[in-house]
């Protein structure tokens, strides 16, 4: 069942959960996967030398209030709204699995990524706090931190040889991530096999965060 939802609007999220419960009677698993990426200069960088990771727009201009808020609203507030909305139902059931999608950018610093990286770092801490709050209700809250993957969001930086090599040079396993790598972990975190795992951020990144 598809329910069009703007995760930046708490009322939309509440409606999503209500419709899911009406249709299925319960919610066993919530995966918070909505995300947004912009590469922006926090303050003007007129002399910035562009790399294979091209900025989303001219670095001679600073990040606007609207751009900053857009990233925070989607990547952080959306996760919070979804977790907050589904928790009462999972408490009622006495069981639930919440999987938040974080990023290696939550712990690794790169230029032009202030808003995105801060939003993902906050998701990590939100995951840990909610895991502590909701453990008494048998709700496990964990996060997956993907590394470098060629997806619709990042494809522009992968499409030429220079960009691809730039990605691979930063990955110890020297290959791009496969969506199956993430999917198998999501299945594990959603299943009863992970019933004793909560409050964790698992990075699936080919060794990027091990350095």
Q: First-to-last CA distance in the chain?
A: 42
Q: In whole angstroms, give the CA distance from residue 195 to residue 95.
A: 10
Which pLDDT does position 74 carry in this prediction? 98
Which pLDDT does position 157 carry in this prediction? 66
Confidence class of residue 92 from pLDDT cuts 50, 70 and 90? very high
Write the pLDDT tens digit of every residue in 5-63.
999 999 999 999 999 999 999 999 999 999 999 999 999 998 988 766 789 999 999 99
Q: In whole angstroms, give the CA distance from residue 95 to residue 78.
A: 22
Which residue blocks in 62-160 are alpha helix, DSSP H? Answer: 65-72, 78-93, 114-134, 155-158
Q: In whole angstroms, give the CA distance from residue 7 to residue 73.
A: 8
Strand pairing report for 201-204 and 96-101: unpaired
Which pLDDT does position 85 carry in this prediction? 98
Enclosing H/E stretch for 16: helix 10-24
Task: Report the candidate in 198, 91, 93, 68 with the shortest Cα–Cα distance to residue 141.
Answer: 198
Catalytic residue among 48, 95, 116, 203: 116
Q: In whole angstroms, give the CA distance from residue 124 to residue 84.
A: 16
> Is the predicted pLDDT of residue 89 greater than 90, yes or no?
yes
Which pLDDT does position 166 carry in this prediction? 81
Average pLDDT estimate for 88-106? 98
Average pLDDT estimate for 178-192? 96
Q: Write down all domains in the chain, each with its CATH number in brackets.
A: 10-42+55-204 (3.40.50.720)
Is 116 among the residues known to form the active site?
yes
Which pLDDT does position 77 carry in this prediction? 98
Lowest-confidence region among 45-54, 78-87, 189-198:
45-54
Task: Report the candidate in 145, 147, 151, 162 with the shortest Cα–Cα distance to residue 53.
Answer: 162
Residue with tokens 């096999």: 193
Which pLDDT does position 52 carry in this prediction? 61
3-class DSSP state of 110: coil
In the sheet that holds 29-32, the strands lie side by side as 29-32, 96-101, 139-146, 201-204
Which pLDDT does position 95 carry in this prediction? 98
Average pLDDT estimate for 94-106? 97
* φ, ψ at 163 (rounded to 5°): -65, -45
Confidence class of residue 148 from pLDDT cuts 50, 70 and 90? confident
Q: In whole angstroms, give the CA distance from residue 185 to residue 199.
A: 15
> Is the predicted pLDDT of residue 88 greater than 90, yes or no?
yes
Average pLDDT estimate for 97-113? 96
Which pLDDT does position 152 carry in this prediction? 74
């Amino acid at each position: 069942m598809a329910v069009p939802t703007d995760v930046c609007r708490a009322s939309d999220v509440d409606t999503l959960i209500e419709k899911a419960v009406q249709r299925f009677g319960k919610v066993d698993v919530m995966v918070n996967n909505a995300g947004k990426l912009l590469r922006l200069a926090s303050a003007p960088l007129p002399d910035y030398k562009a790399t294979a990771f091209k900025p989303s727009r001219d670095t001679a201009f600073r990040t606007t209030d609207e751009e900053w808020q857009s990233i925070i609203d989607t990547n952080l507030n959306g996760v919070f709204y979804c977790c907050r909305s589904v928790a009462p139902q999972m408490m009622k059931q006495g069981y639930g699995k919440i999987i938040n999608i974080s990023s290696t950018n939550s712990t690794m610093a790169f230029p032009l990524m202030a808003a995105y990286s801060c939003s993902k770092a906050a998701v990590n801490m939100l995951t840990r706090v909610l895991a502590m709050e909701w453990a008494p209700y048998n709700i496990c809250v964990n996060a997956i931190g993907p590394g470098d993957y060629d997806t619709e969001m990042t494809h522009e930086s992968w499409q030429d040889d220079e960009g691809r090599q730039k990605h691979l040079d930063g990955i110890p396993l020297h290959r791009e991530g496969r969506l199956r790598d993430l999917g198998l972990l999501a299945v594990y975190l959603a299943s009863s096999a992970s019933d004793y795992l909560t409050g964790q951020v698992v990075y699936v990144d080919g060794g990027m965060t091990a350095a």
